[in-house]
Amino acid sequence: MTNDDRPDPQHRFSRQVPDGDNMPRLVCDDCGFVHYENPKVVVGAVASWQGRLLLCRRAIAPRKGYWTLPAGYLELGETPEEGALREAREEANAQLALEALLAVYAIPRISQIQLIYRARLLDPKVWPGEETQELELFEWDEIPWDDIAFPSVRWALNDHRATLGTENFAPRGNPPDEDGSY
């Protein structure tokens, strides 16, 4: 096995239930190493400035041209908080102060867990990063709801609004009967 836990292409793997397990896994036919496949973690933030919410128009697939939060995959070796701050810098050149974990969403269809924070924008001077076509600070009634990239963005915006003025709240989850399909 390589140091980064990806299957070594020189080894042959087959899907089987390892001893002491109850689920099929990728197992090296030569040495028995089990390669676990786990969900991807997405981190991001609903960032506000004086009641306005920061949204980024995606410059990349999937959902290129649609509006989203500054968010993306957590990198190896970083905390969720560090990842959320990094994504805001990369996508919107934004500096944030994270206030609280707003929500934990599960999107099992794509094996994704999303950790979304409530945040304050420290400076309204923001500009698009490489993955962003444009960005804007929207008043609630100005949000382009028909052009939101993913259901979880809509959930996060609504959860943000529902927790305004509240400092102590439990992180939200998926709305009932919603799986994040679009």
User: What is the mean predicted confidence (pLDDT) over 89-98?
Assistant: 98
Q: Do the strands 40-49 and 112-121 form a parallel or antiparallel pair, or are they unpaired?
A: parallel
CATH 2.30.110.10, domain 1-37, yes or no: no
Q: What is the pTM of this model?
A: 0.87
Q: Which of 4-18, 30-44, 71-85, 106-120 has the lowest mean pLDDT?
A: 4-18
pLDDT digits (tens, 9 = 90+) for 140-175: 999 999 999 999 999 999 999 999 999 999 999 999
So what's the architecture of 40-163 in CATH?
Answer: Alpha-Beta Complex (3.90)
Q: What ranges do the domains of the chain cover?
A: 1-37, 40-163
Residue type for position 4: D
